[in-house]
Amino acid sequence: MVSIRSVLALSLAGLQLVAIAAVILPFYFTSERVLLDHARVLMRDVAHNTINHAIGFLAPAEAAADLSQRLARQQVVSSENEDAMERYFFEQLRSHDQFAGIFYGNTEGDFVYVNRDASLGRPAYRAKTIENRPERRSVDLVWRDDAYSVISRRSDPQDRYDPRTRPWYGGAVEAKGVAWTDPYIFFSSREPGITVATPVTSEAGELKGVVGIDIEISALSLFLSSLKVGEHGGAFIVSNSGDVIAYPDPAKIKMASESGEALRFARIDELDDPLARAAAASFPGLGKAGPSAQNYSSFRYGGEDYHAVASSLPGTRWPWTVITYVPENDFLGAIKESRRNGYVLVVCVALLTGLIGLLIARSITRPIGQLYSQAEDIAAGDLKPMPPLATRYNELHRTGLAFSRMTEWLRRERDANETLTGDLRQASRELEARVEKRTAELNAANARLKEEAELRAAQAESLKKANAQAELLARELNHRVKNVFAVVSAVLSLGARSAESADDLARTTRRRIDALSKAHSVTQGHGSAAAASDLGRLAKLVLAPYVREDADQVSVTGEAIKIDNDVATALGLILHELATNAAKYGALSVPEGQVELSWQSEGAEDNRQLTIVWRERGGPKPIAPGPDKHGFGTQMVQQIAAQYRASYEIDWHEEGLTAILRLPLSEAESSHEAA
């Protein structure tokens, strides 16, 4: 048993919790899903913008290299005209801020190189020209200002630079087209960069040299530093070899090489940013994804959940991956804080509701306790007056008044009952004497009535059995009459197909009806004993009325088997039913229909079984009846099979009906052998 006070308080608090949760929780989860989707879209857009910026930053170099190659091939500019080539390279640098230098080296080792240079203390352009001849080698350096005026000039005989030994030269020659080097730190400017080179060939396809462009990619880091990825997110670019080639803080991606004379890119696992390392580690296949692949991942760092997107630059020229990451709280922090506040609010509301429920329950249970005490007194026989209930509830007040009136009424009734009880005891003694006398009389009458009832029950049972037998006979007679009309119609149709005159039709019909009469006699147990005991003759006699003289529609095959006359009658009824249905609906209803009747005995000597197969072909497509729509004929066949411990199966194939009857030969031959 539980207290009303506890139930009421807990129910109110629980309903309050359920109502608030039903309103708040769907909003929380829906908002969280929408904001996470928005975060992914934001990171995907950041990666897309970074990719477009990188492509837009690098693509002009490829176009410029291709233009320079075509101009060199057509000898518009060539190493033989160093001044024209130098001026062309100078103009290209002025037009493209991302170009750090442009150069051309031929197969003889000649080299023309124009690059940006600030070694003189101000922005300038430096031209380096190498003339490589067996008899002499010269290296000239010229610095020019933005107006192409010479600022300084000198020679450097110690310079042994040979363009033919450089990776950009060999890469372009091997690729026989545009070749991009891996990003590296330029030796002179000590800034990250990349080189694109393309071979220059003659009209006959002979290699003349290679033209290339150096591009400083530090602008990509500046672009990343300007990106806003949430409040605390970031982005960086990693090559397929694991080098960090662009990062919001460019100083962190440059490290001293093993020799200490040059700089190299920091690998992602060497980057001084554990959060960026964790973001890269959340993509196990980083650098192995296909072109333009885009993957999403989540990771946890510093007790906080993060989401990241890795996007590869399209194509294979720049096998780089842009990784953007953002902490989940940048998007869900406010809603999580709101959720925590909501939980606190829900608990407070539930506690307040429970407290109110306790107060309400107390105001209800106190008067109920008074009513309970009064009820206990009444049950104990103490019918003292009940004091008024201390309650403000009208229903409880009226209940208290009712208890008072009930107590008063019970007290009056108790007094009246005591007087009445004495009178009843006297009357009871007199009544008992009369009841004993009347009981004896009733026992004698009941004995007579029981005998009459048993007689009427026996008469009713006999009448019930007679009615059931009459109903069965009426149904069988009705089925027989319908079959007779159907069979006569089929016989007329069969005769009409082959009759040449009315007399011929009459003779044919008369013979068939005579055969039908003989078959009917056999199925009713009135045929000759010889016909009944031979299964082959029985089958032919039953099927004779349905076979045209000029047609071969029915085939009967099987071993010679002698059967009991009673079993012959049962088999005759089953074959008659199958033949009648075939004539009305099946294979015997059309000229091209065929019926095959066959039988064989199977099994050991002490457990032989007779299997009879009826198979129809060429008739109308049979329609199987529903599970609860078997006709009287089917029910009759099933009852006969059950009587002789036989099994009866019907299959409704596309080509026609197939019926299989399996009968123990002990049932078929026992009576015959005994006779």
Average pLDDT of 215-232?
80
Provide the pairing of β-strand 554-558 with 320-327.
Answer: unpaired
Closest to 100 measured CA to CA, from 201, 191, 198: 191
The string of pLDDT tens digits covering residues 423-436 is 888 888 888 888 88
pLDDT of 533 above 90: no
Q: Do the strands 234-239 and 244-246 form a parallel or antiparallel pair, or are they unpaired? A: antiparallel
Quick one: which H or E segment has residue 207?
strand 207-216
Rounded to the nearest 10 degrees, what angle do helices 394-498 and 329-379 cross at?
110
- Residue 672 confidence (pLDDT): 37
SS3 229: coil
Specify the pLDDT at position 351: 79
The pLDDT of 359-371, averaged and rounded, is 74
Q: What is the signed CA dihedral for 90, 95, 99, 102, rounded to 10 degrees?
A: -30
| pLDDT band for position 336 (cuts 50, 70, 90) | low
Residue 550 is predicted with a pLDDT of 66
What is the structure's pLDDT at 114?
Answer: 92
CB 339 within 8 A of CB 345: no
Would you place residue 477 in the very low, low, confident or very high pLDDT band (cuts 50, 70, 90)? low
CB atoms within 10 A of CB 551: 15
What amino acid occupies position 339?
R
155-200 pLDDT per residue, tens: 998 988 899 999 889 988 998 888 888 888 877 778 888 888 889 8
Q: Given a cut of 70, is residue 23 above it in pLDDT?
A: no
Judged against a pLDDT cut of 80, whether residue 4 lies above it is answered with no
- In the chain, the amino acid numbered 321 is T
Integer Cα distance of 238 and 357 in angstroms: 64
Interval 274-283: pLDDT, tens: 998 898 888 8
DSSP string, 520-584: HHHHTT-S-HHHHHBHHHHHHHHHGGG--TT---EEEEE---B--HHHHHHHHHHHHHHHHHHHH
At 36-87, the pLDDT tens digits run: 666 667 667 776 777 777 777 676 766 766 666 666 665 555 556 778 888 8
* Tokens at 229, concatenated: 């990825």
Token pair, residue 452, equals 């009459």
The identity of residue 262, as a single letter, is A
The arithmetic mean of pLDDT across residues 540-561, rounded, is 83
Q: Does position 108 have pLDDT exceeding 80, yes or no? A: yes
Confidence at 290, pLDDT banded by 50, 70, 90? very low
What's the confidence (pLDDT) of residue 671?
Answer: 39
- Name the phi and psi angles at 665, rounded to 5: -65, -20
Token pair in block for residue 144: 């020019």
Give the H or E element holding residue 482: helix 394-498
Mean pLDDT of all residues in 634-645? 81
pLDDT winner (highest mean) among 185-189, 392-396, 486-490, 558-562: 558-562
The pLDDT score that the predictor gives to residue 61 is 64
Under the banding of pLDDT at 50, 70 and 90, the label for residue 529 is very low
Residue 293 DSSP one-character state? -
Residue 518 or residue 593, greater confidence: 593
- In 3D space, the residue among 183, 144, 145 whose CA is nearest the CA of residue 167 turns out to be 183
As given in the structure block, the two tokens for residue 536 are 């082959």
Q: Are 294 and 272 in contact (CB under 8 A)?
A: no
d(CA 277, CA 281): 6
Domains (range + CATH), the chain? 56-216 (3.30.450.20), 220-327 (3.30.450), 393-675 (3.30.565.10)
